[in-house]
A = this chain, B = another copy of it.
Amino acid sequence: MKEQQAEKLPRPGVEALDEILGKPFPVLDDGFVRVVDYMGDDAAVVQAARVSYGAGTKKISDDRGLIRYLLRHRHTTPFEMCEIKLHVRVPMDAWRQWIRHRTASVNEYSTRYSVAIDGTQRTGPREWRTQAAENKQGSGEALDPEVGTRLTESEHEFQTLARGIYNDRIEQGVAREQARKDLPLCTYTEAYWKIDLHNLLHFLSLRMDSHAQKEIRDYATIIGRKIVARWVPQTWEAFEDYRFGASHFSRIETEILAALGAGDGEQACAIARENGWLRESKKGGWVRHRERQEFEAKLSQLNQMPPW
């Protein structure tokens, strides 16, 4: 007799996902994401975990509890047992960030074999964003709409010109692979993108994050909330608890929290001082220290005050 019983037939499916199979979710002004196919569900994660951990998983009687346990302790391999294939339409600029995730399978529309898609992402007058002051990589507030209006007009003219130049080259007989060289980065492309659930969650944890660029964040948010939430609802719930709402403390931070928990503010300060967090500035106050500042922000979320 074998360790595992025969699987139930027929092939497992997820009704809530089957309902939206092939349906495009619009993103940005002219992009979309849609599910082409998938394999597995929450039960497939549980099934894989039980073959691995055998008797050890019997104590966790319900699937939800087991899935939470796996995510909490970063037992990631069972989540690789689910796979999804999406068809996306996305500006090349966002796509550049997207395919930095190396664990997916990709087939992209080729502008060597075919004429480039005649579509660019357009930015409305109120959609221009300022450079963030604190966050070196990100965006801040919206720009003044009057300036925005001018930028939008200028963009529109420029994109029209860019397409004209591309079309002119094609008409003159220039090879497609060369004609495309001056297309704007925000020209739309399309691709099939296939990835397992573990790596998809990793992608989402980075790209749904507030530090991700708005454009790719829009795609990631649709994928997370409209697709993954339907596909594997128990995994999604656990993911939101353990990745998004979670907080993390370094060894130093944990030691300071423990000192605060024991009511020993002096000890907390001593730990901070030892680690170079508390150097007095000439102007009074502490010299700017990134780790200390990040910790203060986290303390504030816990409704606690720094002891220094």
Q: At the interface with chain B, which of A78-86, A219-227, A279-287? A: A78-86
Q: Give the contacts of A65-113 with B (CB-CB under 8 A).
A: 65, 68-69, 72, 77-78, 80-81, 83, 85, 87, 89, 91-93, 96, 99-100, 102-103, 105-110, 112-113
B113 touches A55 (CB 8 A): yes
B165 touches A155 (CB 8 A): yes
Chain B residues, CB < 8 A from A154: 165, 168
Question: What residue in chain B is nearest A23 (Cβ atoms)?
Answer: B6
Question: Can you tell how many copies of this chain the complex includes?
Answer: 4
B158 touches A165 (CB 8 A): yes
CB within 8 A of A51: which of B168, B191, B194? B191
A110 touches B81 (CB 8 A): no
Q: A210 at interface (Cβ–Cβ under 8 A)?
A: no
Chain B residues, CB < 8 A from A126: none
CB distance from A127 to the nearest CB of B (A): 9
> Are A2 and B32 also in contact (CB < 8 A) when A81-B107, A290-B69 are?
yes
Q: A278 at interface (Cβ–Cβ under 8 A)?
A: no
Chain B residues, CB < 8 A from A147: 172
Q: Give the contacts of A227-275 with B (CB-CB under 8 A).
A: 240-242, 244-255, 257-262
CB distance from A31 to the nearest CB of B (A): 10
Chain B residues, CB < 8 A from A105: 77, 80-81, 196
Chain B residues, CB < 8 A from A102: 102-103
Chain B residues, CB < 8 A from A54: 109-110, 113-114
B162 touches A158 (CB 8 A): yes
Flag A287-304 by CB within 8 Å of B: 1 or 0 each: 000110010000001111
B129 touches A151 (CB 8 A): no
Q: A29 at interface (Cβ–Cβ under 8 A)?
A: no
CA separation between A303 and B81, bound complex, in Å?
40
A192 touches B48 (CB 8 A): yes
Task: Tell which of A13, A37, A117 has the most Cβ of chain B within 10 Å.
Answer: A37
B51 touches A22 (CB 8 A): no
Chain B residues, CB < 8 A from A173: 130-131, 143
